Amino acid sequence: MSGHKHPSYLKIYFTLLILFIISVLGPEMAHVLGLEGVSRALLVLSTAFGIAIWKAYLVCAYFMHLKVEKIYAPYILLACLSLLFVFFFGTATDAMFANGHNWVKKYSEDKALAEVIARDEHHEDDHSHSESHNESHSEEKSH
Amino acid sequence: MAHQIVATGRSRTGIPTGRLAVWWIIGSEIVIFGGLIATYLLNRFNHGPSWSAEAAHTNTFIGAANTFWLLTSSLFVVFAHAASERKDANKTRMWIWLTIMLGGFFMGFKSYEYATEILHGYTIFTSNFWSFYYLATGLHGFHVLCGMVIMAIIAENDIKNERNWHRVENIGLYWHFVDIVWIFLFPLMYIAK
């Protein structure tokens, strides 16, 4: 691909940096504004994941030169991407359900969430306990 | 070591053999990482609250810093490619080593992050989320490490001896793909909480 004219790599790089900043700030804004439900999902999905797709396109098109590469290369990538979708939709139909013919998923979301909350509370207790221990230890030293 | 070059091009595709092979590698990696990401999304949609509570513990600052290192390293590797097209060995090696340095920053930050998380009790066995987290980021980190090693070999074995210039472009393609994988892992693991 030495014959083609290079795009301005710096321009692409700064565009990528700006998109990166937006992708971090978008979900933060949703948190700061206290958005919930559909509006929150829309803001997070568009800024975090929509921009990720845009960034990936810029890297593919300009840094990997797919725009000027022989058509065979995009065909390879698209064929593999299609294969991925076949795998995904082939298995998602089972994975998305909690039961089927002669099988039941033992996983319980409520139980999993309760375990996470209990563990976090336990961590916080440990943390506050060790902090109070350190404080009393330093007080003893000062005496 | 002298060796006879057997085939440098594929007339049907019009793409040099090495580069064509790298495109196929990237194609297979799309299925590997794409499968991981698709499975993560499926679990995230099915088990939203618990996975969201787990994702709240990842360090966004380190994830963002690592995104910055990889984006910048992608720029450096295209500069290395541009220098290799001019057959400028010194500049090519300089940009390759700068790319390796940023890869090193990435691995350093990642190691610190892993150490902090493990010390806080979040290991690969803690929950499904953490299993996915360590598997996906660990596999990606392994790819970063492989890229760094291959780049060092190309810089010191090929470019220093002013031969096999096309390998700079080939490793560059691989490195950009590693960057793209991180572009998707970053919002999944660090932003969407």
| ipTM of the complex model | 0.88
Which residue in A58, A63, A67 sits closest to B76, CA to CA?
A63
In percent, how much of chain B has pLDDT > 90?
69
Helix (H, G, I), strand (E, B) or coil at A9: helix
Within chain B, what is the greatest distance between any pair of CA atoms? Answer: 60
Q: Which two tokens stand for residue A56?
A: 């990936």
Q: Which of B39, B50, B191 sits opposite A23 (nearest CB)?
A: B191
Contact predicate B95/B83, CB 8 Å: yes
Min Cα distance B103 → chain A (Å) is 17
Nearest CA in chain A to B38: A88
pTM score over 0.95: no
CA distance A143 to chain B (A): 32
Lowest mean pLDDT among A91-100, B50-59, B69-78: A91-100
pLDDT single digits (tens) A19-48:
999 988 888 888 888 877 788 878 888 888
Q: Which of B24, B74, B191 sits opposite A76 (nearest CB)?
A: B24
Backbone angles phi, psi at A89, to 5 degrees: -70, -25
**What is the reported pLDDT for B39?**
86
- pLDDT-derived band at A1 (thresholds 50, 70, 90) equals low
* pLDDT tens, residue by residue, B68-122: 999 999 999 999 999 999 999 999 999 999 999 999 999 999 999 999 999 988 8
Which residues of B are less than 8 Å from A16 in CB distance? 71
Statement: residue B21 has pLDDT above 60: yes
What are the strands, taking DSSP E only, across A9-134?
99-100, 103-104
Minimal Cα distance from B45: which residue of A?
Answer: A96
Say if domain B22-191 classifies as CATH 1.20.120.80. Answer: yes
Report the b/e string of A100-136 with b at 16+ CB within 10 A: eeeeeeeeeeeebbeebeebeeeeeeeeeeeeeeeee
Q: Give the C-alpha separation, A87 to B38, whole Å.
A: 10
Please give the average per-residue pLDDT across A135-141, as a whole number: 58
Look at residue A132 in the predicted model and tell me its pLDDT.
Answer: 63
Q: What is the pLDDT of residues B142-166, one digit of tens each?
A: 999 999 999 999 999 999 999 999 9
Q: Which residues of A touch B180 (CB under 8 A)?
A: 56, 59-60
| Residue A111 confidence (pLDDT) | 80
Residues of chain B positioned with their CB less than 8 A from the CB of A59: 74, 176, 179-180, 183
Number of cross-chain residue pairs from A and B with Cβ atoms under 8 Å apart: 131
pLDDT at A29: 84
Q: What is the reported pLDDT for B4? A: 61
Residue B8 has pLDDT above 70, yes or no: no
Cα→Cα distances A79→A49, A75, B26, B132, B169, Å: 22, 6, 12, 26, 23
